[in-house]
Amino acid sequence: MTSVIEKIRTRVVLLPLDEPIRGMSIGTRTQKSTLIVEVYSSTGEIGFGYASVQQLGFVKAVEQVVLELEGIIKGMDVARRAQIYERMWTISGDLLHEGVANLALGAIDVALWDLAGKQAGQPLWKMLGGTRDVVPAYASWSFWRYMDLARLESEAVKVAELGYKALKMRMGQRPLAEDLERARLIRRTVGPDMHIMVDALWSLTGTEALEMAHGLHEIGCSWLEEPVRESDYDALADVRSRCAVPIAGGERISRLDLLPRMADSVDHVILDIYHLGGITPWLKAAAYLDMRNKPLSAHSNPYVSMHLLGGARTGAWVEFMPWMDMMFVEPPAPRGGVIQLSDRPGLGLQLDEERIKGFAA
């Protein structure tokens, strides 16, 4: 019996952050405006996906694109995900396959893959290859630029006590000596075995990036992420060629044709499943990086990304933030610095409907 798309249901929720995140370029973030997308099949199964941004107006725009796409793909065979994706991709061409368009395509595509897993009775990580059933996760919800030294130290103690073996701190927009002292403080607090990733958030010139990389190498940091202005691949490649610490980047890539240039410019590729437009294009990116033997980590969205990295041969780190936990009943959580992938079908996530009602926009 063929199962077809019967309808798509959307809901917008406002998920509060435990504390505001302040930044010079992003302003103050107090919530995750999140679009829940559910694809209903004619055989009764429901696939879940989502898209999340800061501004409510932006996520409403994503919702409108999803609702427009519903009319295009309604009645299509849910198993023909490639055909469905191609139709959505083609019809959304006027949006240039960036931003809002990719978030909408990604939310629907994730829901279709979740649906496929549920119909097959298999977890997504097994459907995508099942390379590993445990993926390492690093703590990435803290260590912001605005935090003072005392706060950085207390957060480092907390992360170590939780059993994490890796964390990410943000640097840049401070004098270099001050930034490096912040990194040294964290190193002293957590000891020599903790992986410390550093994200400069596109804030440095090439010269500044080289100076920072030299200092981070002495501290024993695991990578320097996004050191120079977004899309300046020449500067990124130059920094990589002249420094000892590994260079990471790629979370803002929104088209597959940009991937080779990024892969040439970094040691470690980091992709965002929603920025790229969903699981279907992500798998193409993973296949290319497998061919290049490039390690691949995920930006944010841990409960989807963990399945993708569990399936990919060169899959590496899940970036863990608990910001979406309140949407789910018993969400997965790292233990001892890793996430154990379960055998629950699809994404293995159950929406907490009662709590979601309280977050409705």
pLDDT tens column, 150-201: 999 999 999 999 999 999 999 999 999 999 999 999 999 999 999 999 999 9
Q: Tell me which of 90, 121, 152 is where a domain ends.
A: 121
Give the model confidence (pLDDT) of 152-161 as tens digits: 999 999 999 9
Two structure tokens written together for 343: 């055998």
Is residue 330 one of the residues assigned to a domain? Answer: yes
**Would the pLDDT of 24 be above 60?**
no
Answer yes or no: is 233 within a domain.
yes
Is 340 part of any domain? Answer: yes
Give the model's pLDDT for residue 28.
86
| pLDDT-based confidence at residue 26 (cuts at 50, 70, 90) | low
What integer pLDDT is reported at residue 27 of this predicted model? 75
Q: Please tell me whether residues 76 and 134 are part of one structural domain.
A: no
pTM reported for the whole predicted model: 0.97
For residue 361, being part of any structural domain is answered with no
| Whether residue 133 sits in one domain with residue 246 | yes
Q: Give CA–CA dist 276/135, Å, rounded.
A: 21
For the domain that residue 32 is a member of, what is the CATH number? 3.30.390.10
151 lies in the same domain as 116? no
pLDDT tens for 208-230 read 999 999 999 999 999 999 999 99
What confidence score (pLDDT) does residue 247 get? 98
3-state per-residue secondary structure call for the chain: CCCEEEEEEEEEEEEEEEEEEEECCCEEEEEEEEEEEEEEECCCCEEEEEEEECCHHHHHHHHHHHHHHHHHHCCCECCCHHHHHHHHHHHCHHHCCCHHHHHHHHHHHHHHHHHHHHHHCCEHHHHCCCCCCEEEEEECCCCCCCCCHHHHHHHHHHHHHCCCCEEEEECCCCCHHHHHHHHHHHHHHHCCCCEEEEECCCCECHHHHHHHHHHHHHHCCCEEECCECCCCHHHHHHHHHHCCCCEEECCCCCCHHHHHHHHHHCCEEEECHHHHCCHHHHHHHHHHHHHHCCCEEECCCHHHHHHHHHHCCCECCEEECCCCHHHECCCCCCECCEEECCCCCECCCCECHHHHHHCEC
pLDDT class for 25, splitting at 50, 70, 90? low
Same domain flag for 53 and 169: no
CATH number for the domain harbouring residue 253: 3.20.20.120
Does 359 fall in a domain?
no
Same domain, 187 and 200: yes
Verify that 99 and 166 share a domain, yes or no: no
Q: What is the pLDDT of residue 293?
A: 98
Q: Are strands 134-139 and 5-23 parallel, antiparallel or unpaired?
A: unpaired
Please identify, among 63, 92, 121, the residue that sits at the C-terminal boundary of a domain.
121
130 lies in the same domain as 69: no
The pLDDT value recorded for residue 1 is: 86
Q: For the chain, what is the domain count?
A: 2
The reported pLDDT for the residue numbered 54 is 87
Whether residues 262 and 115 share a domain: the answer is no
Mean pLDDT confidence for 114-118: 98
Task: Using pLDDT thresholds of 50, 70 and 90, give the confidence band for residue 10.
Answer: very high
Task: Calculate mean pLDDT across residues 71-92.
Answer: 98
Q: What value does the mean pLDDT of the chain take?
A: 96
Residue 41: inside a domain: yes
- Structural domain including 99 reads 5-121
Banded model confidence at residue 361, pLDDT cuts 50, 70, 90: very high
CA of 243: how far to CAs of 59, 246, 247, in Å?
39, 8, 9
Q: Rounded distance, CA 239 to CA 232, Å?
A: 11
Q: Is residue 223 part of a domain?
A: yes
Residues 31 and 162 in one domain: no
pLDDT of residue 267: 98
pLDDT-based confidence at residue 136 (cuts at 50, 70, 90): very high
pLDDT at 23: 72
CA-to-CA dists, residue 43 to 2, 7, 115, 127, 272, angstroms? 8, 12, 11, 20, 31
What is the tens place of the pLDDT at every residue in 314-355?
Answer: 999 999 999 999 999 999 999 999 999 999 999 999 999 999
Average pLDDT (116-130) is 98
pLDDT digits (tens, 9 = 90+) for 246-298: 999 999 999 999 999 999 999 999 999 999 999 999 999 999 999 999 999 99
Are 67 and 134 in a shared domain? Answer: no
Q: Look at residues 101, 121, 141 and tell me which one is the last residue of a structural domain.
A: 121
Claim to verify: residue 93 and residue 236 sit in the same structural domain: no
Residue 358 inside a domain? The answer is no
pLDDT mean over 134-145: 97
271 and 226: one domain?
yes
